[in-house]
Amino acid sequence: MKRVLVIGANSYIGKKFCEYIHSLNQEFIEVDMVSASNGAWESVDLSLYDTVLHLSAIVYEKENERTKELYEKVNHRLPVRIAYKARENHVKQFVFMSSAAVYGEINGCITKETIPVPSTLYGKTKLAAEKELVKLESTEFKIVIIRAPMVYGDGCKGNYQKLSKIARFTPVFPDYHNKRSMIHVDRLCSCIIELVLKEAQGCYFLQDDNYADTCELVVGIRKKLGKKTYLTKAFNPLIVHLKNRLNLFNKIFGDMYYLG
């Protein structure tokens, strides 16, 4: 039996992870959840757990000078503080949910040799936390970093939800194809369980077996809604021109995928 403490009781992945564990009706992992934002984690006896799974993060707050300190506090300093306490309490493993955002506005393939160059406060603070967490690692305290791509599933937030909203009202869409790494939340939960059971360590690039294609995603979303989509290549030259100049076009039509 592995005991896991999820930091981030209100997080989407945290809730889905607990639901997934309970749906398995198994006896090899026991999971508890605690909130990070209200400081509840500080009163928890971490010595009771084999693994701390850190999912708490600021993601969708508008990035400016006013929120810069909030991103630093929650995404950078907080996980490091919790990891210090976990190590002192002889927790065996600390799993940190990072993000592909550490690679910035990349357009293309990401390998293990790709150097992270984050362009947002979210990406910068996630990478800063990664660097400090790795320094805490030892033979008795294993660090796992998951650089997750876009996560999707029932009730998800973020870019996938935005794309779904666009798809609802877009009968005409560019016949332009790309490659994006994504991962369904259930697959992500399954992979996390495997990492816990194996007492793994290191940096992991988790993704679905097949790359996503924005055009195919839009067509698929509309098909589920009973709506037909008309594809056209008329906009393709404009997309090629703008995707390397405007981050919005790069997010929608650019490539961002992990190799292998």
Q: Would you give per-residue pLDDT tens digits along the chain (260 residues)?
A: 999 999 999 999 999 999 999 999 888 999 999 999 888 999 999 999 999 999 999 987 788 888 999 999 999 999 999 999 999 999 999 999 999 999 998 999 999 999 999 999 999 999 999 999 999 999 999 999 999 999 999 988 888 888 999 999 999 999 999 999 999 999 999 999 999 999 999 999 999 999 999 999 999 999 999 999 999 999 999 999 998 888 889 989 999 999 97
Query: Is 52 inside any structural domain?
Result: yes
pLDDT, position 150: 94
pLDDT, position 20: 95
pLDDT, position 248: 84
Q: Are 85 and 139 in contact (CB under 8 A)?
A: no
Query: Is 237 inside any structural domain?
Result: no
Query: Is 229 inside any structural domain?
Result: no
CA distance 33 to 36: 10
pLDDT, position 210: 96
**How many domains does the chain divide into?**
1
Residues 6 or more apart whose CB falls under 8 angstroms from that of 233 comprise: 174, 175, 176
* AA letter at 104: G
Q: Hunting for tokens 């002192």 — which residue is that?
A: 88
pLDDT, position 38: 86
Query: Is 14 inside any structural domain?
Result: yes
The CATH number of the domain where 194 resides is what? 3.40.50.720
3-class SS letters over the chain: CEEEEEECCCCHHHHHHHHHHHHHCCCCEEEEEECCCCCHHHHCCHHHCCEEEECCCCCCCCCCHHHHHHHHHHHHHHHHHHHHHHHHCCCCEEEEEEEHHHHCCCCEEECCCCCCCCCCHHHHHHHHHHHHHHHCCCCCCEEEEEEECEEECCCCCCHHHHHHHHHHCCCEEECCCCCECEEEHHHHHHHHHHHHHCCCCEEECCCCCCCECHHHHHHHHHHHCCCCCEEECCCHHHHHHHCCCCHHHHHHHCCEEECC
CA distance 150 to 222: 20
Q: Are 203 and 170 in contact (CB under 8 A)?
A: no
CA distance 203 to 110: 13
Q: Can you give the pTM of this predicted structure?
A: 0.94
pLDDT, position 91: 98
Which region, left, alpha or beta, applies to residue 22 given φ > 0 means left and ψ of -120 to 50 means alpha? alpha
Q: pLDDT tens digits for 63-76?
A: 888 899 999 999 99
Q: Are 125 and 72 in contact (CB under 8 A)?
A: yes
pLDDT, position 160: 87
pLDDT, position 211: 97
Q: Which residues pair with 108 in a beta bridge?
A: 256
* AA letter at 8: G
Query: Is 225 inside any structural domain?
Result: no
Q: pLDDT tens digits for 216-258?
A: 999 999 999 999 999 999 999 999 999 888 888 998 999 999 9
CA distance 80 to 101: 19
Query: Is 56 inside any structural domain?
Result: yes
* AA letter at 212: A
Backbone angles phi, psi at 14, to 5 degrees: -60, -45
Query: Is 152 inside any structural domain?
Result: yes
CA distance 236 to 241: 9
Expressed as residue numbers, the domain containing 76 is 2-157+181-211
Query: Is 122 inside any structural domain?
Result: yes
